[in-house]
Structure formats: structure tokens, C-alpha cells
């Protein structure tokens, strides 16, 4: 059974009087353990697709099976639960709580999973150590470099042991060295069995993935396997 | 477990901007403080009043000349006169009346040795001392019936009069001159203190009422009577009996004719006072309600601002799995912590203010538990009620759009 299976997914927005079709019936499957990348120019629908796959948004029509469950028709709160348990999200601009320490940021998904404070802290320490930030547990994002912040974000994404890690332009705001470090880390995680889905416009980044699809005008243009 | 974490998150969020939090709760703080202080002062005044009423005597009925105006309002009238015979009749023929004493007095300047003092001279009979629960300092005695009947020139002095005419010396047996007539002092009254109107009851001289009528007031009639009922339950009966006797004696026979006198029981006065007090309390409650309302609106305002400022933060929390109710709860708790802080600080402020006022007016202030408990509960409620709309707004944000917010 595929981990992710979407069928004829359409996403329509209403911009005033004009309806916009961001996705025009896209279908694909992603298997467990894959390193998958979605590429496309601005306006190709790649962000929209990412939003739907990561359960931040719902399709206008079509089906989406995540780990065997039909998630296309779930309500806002149920989607939140799915995100909390199954998907780890990493963003281009890190999206860390500026007023919380690295430790508190990483513990956030665990807070909403209902874990007590002690458990949260222990898990967060373990993961932060794994990403190499064991010395900076109580630092605030403003005290960390871009690369370090993204590592905190990744630690947060991994905090609840998700099945999939989804990253939207994870290296977009990083220098080349940090970008390499991040991508190397993703590769390592993938080797350990984590499914990775990436959205990027950068070929260099897409090279790390084993399967890449190209989107244009809301449809899959082509697919390549490395 | 998570609830405790939410409280911690709320405290951290509020502590980040202490000045803003303080200014927000100022409305509730002052409102609660004012109410706590005013209730305490009011309760203290009520207690003091109660003391003073008890001080005056129990089961008292005051009989005064009176009439009914066109509007049906009873009021004092100087036309009616009471005679000593009226008083005797009441005493004799009203079974539920225990004691009756006349009401007759005048203000005179009295002198003793080489001191002067202006004070009120009241004409009384032996029943007076029972009715008023007012005793004589040992070494002296009260007025007797025979002295009453004979218009004897004897008097009893209140403590204030003694101090001003005799200093520390014992005045019993001495002479004082009232209207150039020498009176022998037969006793000194025990201290009584101030009455409900704030007048010094110890600033008085008591003489036999016949003496007052003949020598001091120059009238054959009394200004009224004070009676005390046999017991608290008998007060209405006593009132009826006195009314009957006086109507008879004043030749008011037809049932449609109004009394030419009024009977007021102290209990009535206490009840009237209590009614006024409850009206005051109602007013206080309204003022408190308004100030809490205003405070609540302040909280709602600031929470709305806070939600807007933290739109991205809300988006991040939602992205990692926060549900509507997690966000709702977080902001609701923040609002409640704010309002509770205002309430608690307000209670402290009110207690301090009440204690300060107590020092100034020289009576106790009482902080009833209900006022503190109610303030606490209402402060919390205000936070929940006025925090709900901003919290709800926060929970309804779309995560994708919230994350895009700059």
C-alpha cells in the first residue's frame, strides 16, 4: 500500500470574480521510504500541492489517501491531528516561535499531542542533540544562525516520530554550506527509513531526491527517476 | 497536564509585556478595589448604626404630635398637645406597654460654682431609666415618683455636663442653677456616647417632668411620649393599644378621622434604614457592574490586538498540530489570567483603602467574605466572557494564511 496516494486532485480558488485552478486533476503515489521532490516554476501549483499533501489544506475535489486513510474530506481539527502525528513540516522561513527557546519550539508538537512537560523536554533534548544543537537548548531563534534555526525546525518536525517529513524550499533562506548540511541530514534520515517529500525550484536541491515530478500550470508535466 | 502547560504559556506571554498587561487590568483593578472598600465601609457603618440603635433602648415606640397631609404623608405637627393624663392612661390601660416616659425638653444655660454650660434639659419620670436602659453612677440615684408629682428641684447630670461644670469633682449633693432656679444634683448618669445622629447623649440634664413643665418650659403639656413595649413581638399590639387610648382621649371617634399623633417604632426606623442601605447596595452593585463591564471591554480590546500581533505564531502552532480548542483555550486562559490578576490586585487595593478610611472615620470596617468571593468570581467570569470573542477569532484562523502574515 502506498504511503501517499492522490487521485484527480483539483484545487480551485475564487479570486473575486475569477476562479483560479491551481491544480487541474493531479494523481500520484509516493511509497514509504522514498525521497521525492516536486519541482516547478512560480505559479505551477507546487505550493498548492504541498499544502494539500501536507494536510494544511483540502482539495476542492479528488481523493487523498494517507497511510491508507481517506483524508481528503477531513475537517480542520482532524487534519491538525494528522499533521501532528504523521507529518513533520519544514518551511523555507523556518517558522519558529520567536519567543520560545529551541527546547520549547521542538516540544511544541508534543504539547499538542498531550505529552506532559517532562516527557516533552526529554524527547526534545534527544532530538536536538541528534541535530547537533545539544549546546543550544535554551537559545532563542534570534540567537541562532539560519542553518541552526532550520535544524531546530527539523528537530521539531521529527519530535513526534512522523512517517513523512515534508519540506517546502528548506534551503531557500540558507547559504550554500548550511544548505549542504541540511540536505545531507535529510539524506541520512531517508537512509534510516524516513519518507521525504520536498518542494523546490532549485535543481541542485532536487538532485538529492530519487524521484522528481515537474509541475506546470497545475498539472504534472513529467516525472523522472534518478 | 496540558492545562497547566497552557497556564504557563499564558503567564509567559503576559509577562513579556508587563506594562501593557498592567494598563489593561487597571479598569478592573480600580473597579473591584472601589467596590470592596465601599462595601466594607458600608458594612461597618451598618454595624455602628445597629450598635447605636441598641444603645437607645429596645422595643421603643415614640409618640409624637402629627397630622396627615393631603398627599397622605404623615408629618410632625406642633398643634397637638399631650397631657400627663394621656401618659398615665397609656401606662394604665395598655397591657402590652411596659413603660411610658414623657418627652419634654428645652435648651438652657446652666451654671454651677463659677462655670456655665448650655445644654438640653429633659423632663423625665422613673420609667425613663428603664426605657432607655440608662443607669446612674453608684453614689447617686434616679428620680422618684414623688419628686415627679411634687415638681421637685432635683436633677441628674450627664457625664459631659459634669466635666464642663465640675471637672473631676463629684457633683452629687451640689447645686446647679437652671434658669436662675437652684436644683440639687442627686446623681450622675452613666456614659452613653453618641446617638445615631451623632449627638452627644452625655450632654444632657434630667429633671422631673413636672418641674420641666412648670419651671423650664412653662407649658402644661408634653411634646410627646416614649413608650417601650413589653416585648419585641408585642410592639404592634402596643402600637394599636396606644392609638386606641389616645384617639379616645383626643376625642377622635369617627373611623374616617385621622389620628392627630404619630407613633414611630424604632424597629420601623431600623427597617427604613436597612431599606435605604439595600438601595445603596444596589447602586453600588450597578456601579461595580459598569466598571467590570468597562474593564472587560478593555481586556477584549487588548486580546484582539494580541491575536492580530501573534497571527503567525498561531499559524505555526496550528501547523504542528494545534486544534481549534487548543488555540481557543490558550487565549481564553490568557484573558482570564489578566482579569483575575486585576481582581486580586483590586481586592488588595480595596482592603488597604478600607483600612485607611477606617482610621479616618473611627469606626470598624468589615470585609465580608461574600464581597471578596464575589469579586474573585466575577473577575474570572469577565475574563472568560470578554476573552471569548478574541480567542474564538484566533481559533478560526486559516493556518496557511496565518503563516503568510507579516
User: pLDDT (tens digit, 9 = 90+) per residue, B27-83?
Assistant: 899 989 988 888 888 888 888 777 777 777 778 888 887 766 556 666 665 567 788
Residues B289 and B237 in one domain: no
pLDDT of B277: 79
pLDDT of B394: 96
Say if the Cβ atoms of B313 and A97 lie within 8 Å: yes
Give the residue among A95, A99, A93 at the shortest CA–CA distance from A83.
Answer: A95
CB-CB: which of A81, A91, A117 is closest to B321? A81
Answer with the residue of higher pLDDT: B70 or A178: A178
Range of the domain at A58: 4-225
Confirm whether B264 is domain-assigned.
no
Which chain A residues have a beta carbon less than 8 Å from that of B315?
Answer: 95
Instruction: Provide the shortest C-alpha distance from residue B319 to chain A (in Å).
Output: 7
Residues B151 and B251 in one domain: yes
| Confidence at B192, pLDDT banded by 50, 70, 90 | confident
C-alpha cell at B219: 407649658
Q: What is the mean pLDDT of residues A133-138?
A: 93
Three-state secondary structure string covering B217-274: HCCCCECEEEEEECCCCCHHHHHHHHHHHHHHHCCCCCCCCCCCEEEEEHHHHHHHHH
A209: number of Cβ within 10 Å: 25
Q: What is the mean pLDDT of residues B158-177?
A: 89
Say if the Cβ atoms of B322 and A96 lie within 8 Å: no
Which chain B residues have a beta carbon less than 8 Å from that of A97?
Answer: 313, 316-317
Which chain B residues have a beta carbon less than 8 Å from that of A156?
Answer: 320
Total beta-carbon pairs less than 8 A apart between chain A and chain B? 63
Q: What is the mean pLDDT of residues A90-97?
A: 95
pLDDT of B74: 61
Residues B240 and B322 in one domain: no
Residues B46 and B166 in one domain: no
By the 8 A CB rule, do A101 and A149 touch? no
Say if the Cβ atoms of B400 and A97 lie within 8 Å: no
Q: How far apart are CA B300 and CA B320, in angstroms?
A: 27
Say if the Cβ atoms of A56 and B319 lie within 8 Å: yes
By the 8 A CB rule, do B123 and B211 touch? yes
Residues B286 and B162 in one domain: no
- Is the model's pLDDT at B1 over the cut of 60? no
- Total domains in chain A come to 1
Which chain A residues have a beta carbon less than 8 Å from that of B312?
Answer: 95
Q: How far apart are CA A42 and CA A47, in angstroms?
A: 9
Confirm whether B62 is domain-assigned.
no
pLDDT of A211: 95
Residues B110 and B207 in one domain: yes
pLDDT of B196: 66
Q: How far apart are CA B3 and CA B15, in angstroms?
A: 18
Determine the longest span between alpha carbons in chain B, in angstroms: 105
CATH code at position A161: 3.40.50.300
Range of the domain at B285: 2-52+271-404
| Confidence at B238, pLDDT banded by 50, 70, 90 | confident
SS3 state of residue A100: coil
Confirm whether B265 is domain-assigned.
no
- Is the model's pLDDT at A88 over the cut of 60? yes
SS3 state of residue A122: helix
- Is the model's pLDDT at A170 over the cut of 90? yes
Which chain B residues have a beta carbon less than 8 Å from that of A116?
Answer: 1
pLDDT of A128: 95
pLDDT of A27: 94
pLDDT single digits (tens) B106-163: 898 999 888 899 999 999 988 888 888 888 888 888 888 887 778 889 999 999 999 9
pLDDT of A78: 94
C-alpha cell at B236: 404592634
pLDDT single digits (tens) B329-373: 999 999 999 999 999 999 999 999 999 988 887 777 888 898 899
Exposed e or buried b for every residue in B183-193, given b needs 16+ CB within 10 A? Answer: bebbbbbeebe
pLDDT of A48: 93
Closest residue of B to A160, CA-based? B320
By the 8 A CB rule, do B370 and B299 touch? no
Answer with the residue of higher pLDDT: A149 or B254: A149
By the 8 A CB rule, do A201 and A169 touch? yes
Backbone φ/ψ region at B298: left (φ over 0), alpha (ψ -120 to 50), beta: alpha
Least confident of A130-139, B168-177, B318-327: B168-177
Confirm whether B73 is domain-assigned.
no
Residues B48 and B126 in one domain: no
Give the residue among A158, A180, A190 at the shortest CA–CA distance from A90.
Answer: A158
Q: What is the mean pLDDT of residues A195-210?
A: 93
| Confidence at B388, pLDDT banded by 50, 70, 90 | very high
Q: What is the mean pLDDT of residues B165-172?
A: 88
pLDDT of B98: 87
Confirm whether B57 is domain-assigned.
no
Residues B231 and B275 in one domain: no
Question: Final residue of a domain: which of B211, B229, B259?
Answer: B259
Residues B232 and B326 in one domain: no
Cα B276 vs. chain centroid, distance in angstroms? Answer: 9
Residues B27 and B124 in one domain: no
- Total domains in chain B come to 2
Task: Please return the burial class of A118, using the count of CB atoms within 10 Å of its CB with bins 0-12, 13-18 and 19+.
Answer: exposed
Residues B327 and B197 in one domain: no
Give the residue among B103, B100, B68 at the shortest CA–CA distance from B87.
Answer: B100
| Confidence at A183, pLDDT banded by 50, 70, 90 | very high
pLDDT of B78: 58
Name every residue whose Cβ is closer than 8 Å to that of residue B305 and which is 6 or more positions away in sequence. Answer: none
Answer with the residue of higher pLDDT: A146 or B363: A146
ipTM metric: 0.95
Give the residue among B340, B345, B335 at the shortest CA–CA distance from B305.
Answer: B335
Tell me what percent of the residues of chain A surpass a pLDDT of 70: 100
Amino acid at each position: 500500500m502506498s504511503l501517499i496516494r492522490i487521485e484527480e486532485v483539483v484545487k480551485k480558488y475564487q479570486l473575486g470574480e475569477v476562479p483560479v485552478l491551481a491544480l487541474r486533476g493531479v494523481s500520484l503515489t509516493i511509497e514509504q521510504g522514498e525521497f521525492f521532490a516536486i519541482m516547478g516554476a512560480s505559479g505551477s501549483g507546487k505550493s498548492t500541492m504541498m499544502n494539500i499533501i501536507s494536510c494544511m489544506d483540502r482539495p476542492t475535489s479528488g481523493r487523498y489517501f494517507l497511510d491508507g486513510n481517506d483524508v481528503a474530506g477531513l475537517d480542520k481539527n482532524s487534519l491538525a491531528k494528522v499533521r501532528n502525528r504523521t507529518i513533520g513540516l519544514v518551511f523555507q522561513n523556518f517558522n519558529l516561535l520567536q519567543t520560545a527557546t529551541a527546547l520549547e519550539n521542538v516540544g511544541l508538537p508534543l504539547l499538542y499531542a498531550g505529552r506532559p512537560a517532562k516527557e516533552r523536554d526529554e524527547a526534545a533534548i534527544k532530538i536536538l542533540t541528534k541535530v547537533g544543537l545539544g549546546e543550544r537548548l535554551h537559545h532563542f531563534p534570534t540567537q541562532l544562525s539560519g542553518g541552526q534555526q532550520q535544524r531546530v525546525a527539523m528537530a521539531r518536525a521529527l519530535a513526534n516520530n512522523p512517517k513523512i517529513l515534508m519540506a517546502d524550499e528548506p534551503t531557500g533562506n540558507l547559504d550554500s554550506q548550511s544548505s549542504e548540511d541540511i540536505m545531507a541530514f535529510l539524506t541520512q534520515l531517508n537512509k534510516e527509513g524516513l519518507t521525504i517529500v520536498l518542494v523546490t525550484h532549485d535543481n541542485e536541491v532536487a538532485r538529492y531526491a530519487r524521484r522528481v515530478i515537474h509541475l506546470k500550470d497545475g498539472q504534472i508535466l513529467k516525472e523522472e527517476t534518478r | 497536564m496540558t492545562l497547566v502547560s497552557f497556564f504557563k504559556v499564558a503567564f509567559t506571554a503576559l509577562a513579556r509585556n508587563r506594562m501593557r498587561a498592567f494598563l489593561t487590568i487597571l479598569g478592573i483593578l480600580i473597579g473591584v478595589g472601589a467596590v470592596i472598600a465601599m462595601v466594607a465601609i458600608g458594612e461597618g457603618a451598618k454595624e455602628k448604626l445597629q450598635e447605636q440603635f441598641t444603645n437607645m433602648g429596645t422595643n421603643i415606640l415614640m409618640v409624637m404630635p402629627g397630622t396627615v397631609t393631603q398627599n397622605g404623608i404623615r408629618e410632625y405637627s406642633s398643634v397637638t398637645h399631650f397631657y400627663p393624663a394621656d401618659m398615665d392612661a397609656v401606662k394604665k390601660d395598655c397591657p402590652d406597654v411596659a413603660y411610658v416616659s414623657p418627652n419634654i425638653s428645652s435648651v438652657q444655660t446652666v451654671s454651677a460654682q463659677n462655670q456655665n454650660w448650655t445644654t438640653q434639659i429633659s423632663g423625665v419620670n422613673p420609667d425613663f431609666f428603664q426605657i432607655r436602659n440608662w443607669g446612674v453612677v453608684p453614689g447617686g440615684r434616679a428620680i422618684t415618683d414623688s419628686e415627679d408629682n411634687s415638681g421637685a428641684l432635683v436633677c441628674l447630670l450627664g457625664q459631659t455636663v459634669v466635666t464642663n461644670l465640675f471637672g473631676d469633682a463629684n457633683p452629687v449633693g451640689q447645686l446647679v442653677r437652671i434658669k436662675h432656679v437652684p436644683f440639687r444634683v442627686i446623681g450622675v448618669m452613666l456614659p452613653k456616647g453618641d446617638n445615631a445622629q451623632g449627638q452627644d447623649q452625655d450632654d444632657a440634664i434630667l429633671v422631673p417632668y413636672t418641674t420641666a413643665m412648670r419651671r423650664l418650659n412653662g407649658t402644661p403639656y408634653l411634646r410627646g411620649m416614649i413608650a417601650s413595649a413589653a416585648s419585641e413581638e408585642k410592639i404592634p399590639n402596643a402600637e394599636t393599644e396606644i392609638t386606641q387610648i389616645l384617639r379616645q382621649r383626643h376625642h377622635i371617634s369617627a373611623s374616617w378621622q385621622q389620628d392627630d399623633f404619630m407613633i414611630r417604632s424604632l424597629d420601623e426606623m431600623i427597617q427604613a434604614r436597612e431599606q435605604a442601605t439595600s438601595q445603596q447596595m444596589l447602586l453600588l452593585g450597578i456601579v461595580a457592574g459598569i466598571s467590570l463591564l468597562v474593564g472587560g471591554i478593555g481586556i477584549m480590546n487588548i486580546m484582539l490586538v494580541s491575536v492580530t500581533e501573534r497571527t503567525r505564531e498561531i499559524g505555526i502552532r496550528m501547523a504542528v498540530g494545534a486544534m481549534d480548542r487548543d488555540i481557543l483555550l490558550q487565549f481564553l486562559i490568557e484573558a482570564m489570567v489578566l482579569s483575575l490578576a486585576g481582581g486580586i490586585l483590586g481586592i488588595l487595593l480595596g482592603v488597604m483603602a478600607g483600612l485607611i478610611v477606617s482610621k479616618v472615620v473611627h469606626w470598624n470596617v468589615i470585609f465580608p467574605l461574600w464581597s471578596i468571593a464575589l469579586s474573585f468570581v466575577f473577575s474570572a467570569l469577565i475574563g472568560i466572557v470578554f476573552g471569548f470573542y478574541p480567542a474564538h477569532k484566533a481559533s478560526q484562523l486559516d493556518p496557511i494564511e496565518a503563516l503568510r502574515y507579516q
